[in-house]
Amino acid sequence: MYKYDDFDHAIVNARVDEFRDQVARRVAGELSEDAFKPLRLMNGLYLQLHAYMLRVAIPYGTLSADQLRMLAHIARSYDKNYAHFTTRQNIQYNWIKLAEAPDLLADLARVEMQAIQTSGNCIRNITTDQFAGATAEEVADPRPYAELLRQYSTFHPEFSFLPRKFKIALTAAPHDRAAIKLHDIGLELYKNATGDIGWRVFVGGGMGRTPIIGKVLREFLPQAYFLGYIEAIMRVYNRYGRRDNIYKARIKILVHELGLEEFHRQVDAEWADIQKTFAEPPAVELERISAFFVNPTFETIATPVAIYDDARKTNPAFDHWVERNVCAHKQQGYSIVTISLKAVGEIPGDASADQMDTIAALADQYSFSDVRVTHEQNLVLPHVRQIDLFALWEKLKDIGLASDNVGLASDIIACPGMDYCSLANARSIPIAQDIAKRLAPIERSTGELKIKISGCINACGHHHAGHIGILGVDKKGEENYQLSLGGSAAEDTTLSTILGPGFDADGVVNAVEKIVACFNTIKRDNERFLDTYRRVGTAPFKEAVYG
């Protein structure tokens, strides 16, 4: 993975020193809260329902074992022994003290981590496929480009005060695990008919109060023009994005209001102008960055691996876990392992300091010290020898992280909701816990089902993209939940459709159970929930829920 150079270290350490000074001046009364708030937010420090919350960036969801150990240390030393992995591949701490935040950031900097641009109207953490560099599906590893974008966007003076926050996601595989069409810019690296590799550029996607699927702005962008073209998009948005209305400030609204054709024309004009002066990074720079993402030294392993196959045949629980949590690796004899942070009844995305330490040790032992964070709030060990899978599974069981539910009903995305978030109108986590408990007994026979829950219209829980989406709202001071069906964040991206009137907390859990029961009676063979929904529409589910 990428290693900071002297310049990276210098700017991050300088930022820590600067924030330490800002905190001291705030406490001493030299800075008002109005002056200080944007400064703390630029360093990822929010004020939430119970305390300060720090959001730490995990660039493109890639962590080393040492970094994960540091995150565990921070949970122990500055928080309450746990943290929360988010839908943007970041991590959040919920109980931070202002005076301790600079020391915390200094600790993070020691392992080349920071909280810069995890808030504010700037280019946020770049996200990508959690299987990058491990899956055979991809045409190239997208992370060098993500790192290039990270460096380009960090402290970019022109893009530090955009009309609104800006999210970019990349993938290099046809199976989209990064929800690229639901980002301000989505980038898909692919090989065209003539064998050249380049980017399909999507623009104007997003969730929130106005969900829109990103549109193709450029069908094929040669890699050589990667940054210049993104700069052209950013400039058009920065110049014409609405600053008069926060609800209309995202690029998706600009694209919608201008129309794709006119937006495209403006970007092309800007791009033509940029090319007179903009210097793409020299090839040697991308090569320098790419060198940090070369394959680890894989062993040559003959397959099939008898011990692994035998363990699957003789241990059904292990076999179930492999079936759900283990994916094909590009290297023969290796697998990609998803560690579910969704044990039934537990809080989606939360991990204790002890669990983080153990996963770091397992990454050292089994996965070249490499850990990934998924936008579905799970962790990944990307390079595990098949011969080691059984031992790994047993060790995960010891720390309560061997749930065999990836992609099933209890693998629920849930935002922190009103248990932590000051913006939320309703709780998300207890709804997720209750649904998981209710559906766990039938989830294997139900098959793939993605349930996503947000505690407010901002949609951090991606409810618009849920096969079953749940949105918590405030109805005359009471929590109320709207159900919607048919969303997807994958390559077949769709937005979910509201089913009907909302429910209270118990009611929505009952309604979800009825929807799943209905699905199980009408599905054909091994049809996924989403495919059944697309075949039959809302009618049978409405009937099941509302009678």
Does 430 engage in binding with other proteins (CB under 8 A)?
A: yes
Q: How far apart are CA 400 and CA 398, in angstroms?
A: 6
Q: With CB under 8 A, what is the number of residues at the site for other proteins?
A: 30
Q: Name which of 127 and 352 has its Cβ closer to other proteins.
A: 352
Residue 518, both tokens: 């209905």
Q: Name which of 214 and 455 has its Cβ closer to other proteins.
A: 455
Q: Name which of 14 and 99 has its Cβ closer to other proteins.
A: 99
301: left (phi over 0), alpha (psi -120 to 50) or beta: beta
Secondary structure letter of residue 413 according to DSSP = E
**Rounded to the nearest whole angstrom, what is the least distance from the CB of residue 423 to other proteins in the complex?**
10
Binding-site member from 7, 29, 195, 526 for other proteins (CB under 8 A): 29
Does 434 engage in binding with other proteins (CB under 8 A)?
A: no
By the 8 A CB rule, do 159 and 190 touch? no
- The 360-389 site mask, x for binding other proteins (CB under 8 A), equals ------------------------------
Q: How far apart are CA 166 and CA 169, in angstroms?
A: 10
Q: How far apart are CA 383 and CA 314, in angstroms?
A: 24
**Rounded to the nearest whole angstrom, what is the least distance from the CB of residue 97 to other proteins in the complex?**
5
Does 27 engage in binding with other proteins (CB under 8 A)?
A: yes
199 to 218, contacts with other proteins by CB under 8 A?
Answer: none
Binding-site member from 10, 14, 35, 99 for other proteins (CB under 8 A): 99
410 to 429, contacts with other proteins by CB under 8 A?
Answer: 418-420, 424-425, 427, 429
Does 50 engage in binding with other proteins (CB under 8 A)?
A: yes
Q: How far apart are CA 283 and CA 103, in angstroms?
A: 38
Binding-site member from 11, 20, 52, 288 for other proteins (CB under 8 A): 52
- Cα 4 to Cα 110, 112, 282, 416, 531: the distances in Å are 10, 7, 19, 32, 45
Does 229 engage in binding with other proteins (CB under 8 A)?
A: no
**Rounded to the nearest whole angstrom, what is the least distance from the CB of residue 498 to other proteins in the complex?**
23
**Rounded to the nearest whole angstrom, what is the least distance from the CB of residue 489 to other proteins in the complex?**
25
How large is the greatest C-alpha to C-alpha distance in the chain, in angstroms? 68
Q: Are strands 185-191 and 168-171 parallel, antiparallel or unpaired?
A: parallel
Binding-site member from 75, 96, 116, 134 for other proteins (CB under 8 A): 96
Does 26 engage in binding with other proteins (CB under 8 A)?
A: yes
Q: Are strands 52-56 and 413-414 parallel, antiparallel or unpaired?
A: unpaired
Q: How far apart are CA 65 and CA 374, in angstroms?
A: 16
Q: Name which of 231 and 346 has its Cβ closer to other proteins.
A: 346
Does 119 engage in binding with other proteins (CB under 8 A)?
A: no
Whether the upstream peptide bond of residue 304 has omega within 30° of 0, thus cis, is: yes
Does 478 engage in binding with other proteins (CB under 8 A)?
A: yes
Neighbours of 277 (CB within 10 A): 7
End-to-end CA distance of the chain: 54
**Rounded to the nearest whole angstrom, what is the least distance from the CB of residue 425 to other proteins in the complex?**
8
57: left (phi over 0), alpha (psi -120 to 50) or beta: beta
Question: Applying CB under 8 A, which residues contact other proteins?
Answer: 26-27, 29, 32-33, 47-52, 80, 95-99, 347, 418-420, 424-425, 427, 429-430, 433, 477-479
